[in-house]
Structure 1
Amino acid sequence: KAQLVDLSQYSTKSLEWLMMEHFQFSYANVGFLADAVKATTAFDTDAVKTELIRNHGEESGHATIYRDALKRINVDLDIRVEFVPTTQFLKTINILSNHEPSTVLGSMFATETAAIFEHQVFREVSKEVIKRGNWGDKGEKLVWFHDMHLAGVEQSHRDELGIFLRGLSPEQILVTQEGDRPTIDVQQALKGAYQAIETMVVWWNAMLTEAQAISKN
């Protein structure tokens, strides 16, 4: 995030490119959530699955809104060229979304937590691109898209999944079902979270390196 505080070091082309890459996750995330719902059916309570169904319902249709908002400021996703680190990132999240349920819970908690940071960053990126292009009212939908997620959507997704992980410690192996909370393999949950974080860090580092290279051309 620190590398994106001063957006003046990035060209408009590079900022538009970053938004196109971020869209790829927004588009794919609905599928990841659908897979996570199926995977967490294996838990011995329905609480995690129910929360993921809610998340899936709230995210459905968001990619269409995002695409339209980008199009309004002349960011054309149809001209995007594949960026291999994004492809690899999405493949990894796809694998984690189809793992055993505790791994899925950990990885989904990690991605929902990161989504807050991402929408904060891309809200500022959007405002910068809109200002540079003098897009005015045409850019309002794009800023609103990020505001919508930051007005409680992503925080709720993180917090509601976090309920199931609250109080767990890395020293634990297995916690048995209690109330709505299912039996959780703590080590698998940690593994899922760490793997998701690791692949997000790799992805972000690759994107920032590419954005800096684009800015120099």
Structure 2
Amino acid sequence: MDKLNLSKHISSQFNEELEQIRNHVMSMGGLIERQLYDALAAIANSDSELAQQVIANDLKVNDWELQIDKECTRVIAKRQPAASDLRLIMAILKSINDLERIGDETRRIAKVALESFNSDQQDLLVNLDNLGRHVAQMLHDVLDAFARMDVEAALTVHKEDKKVDREYEAITRQLMTYMIEDPRSIPKVMNVLWSARSLERIGDRCKNLSEYIIFFVKGKVVRHASHEKLEQEVRGD
């Protein structure tokens, strides 16, 4: 808690409650990061068992969201936090919602991977490798930024989303060309397109998480701002 420069309270129990909630968010984030890496590994290695494990573990992600939500609600009702404490709770509530959505997208990717095994659709999924690794690195970096509430690291993640969007657009064009050349491929290509879309959405969620970090540290709501505008807002203090 000290590293985040959070306010100290007369009640040591309040400090412990906030620390526990923050630790639970990091545990949830760690699980989701592992889920994403496993889903991508399942695709790369045609590992149906690993894909099934990712799908099953999504229930654990949901459980974490419910638990942390209850803990935050209890702290608000009991402690009536103000200033930075309230911003922290609000940032956490927003973050666990986006983390849960990342979990949903990861489950969808694993389902497509599972359906693609024993079919030539598997070859098309290889197109997702670079995008998948890029998004996985974004998730890792934003979780690390959240652990330290590092605004500069959050800004770096925020900027990466544009690169992810460009990669997604390139894959979409490539797969659309494939469908035009071979209309029989449309059903299997559509599955790969949905997986690419899931990865792009994970990038969007990572961008959101970076904005919640900035909200907590700077007390500024920066949703929908361009990256250039965001940098001006954050560094213009």
TM-score range, shorter chain: 0.3 to 0.5
Larger radius of gyration: 2
**Which has a greater percent of helix?**
2
More RCO (CA 8 Å, sep 6+): 1
Report the TM-score when normalising by structure 1: 0.39
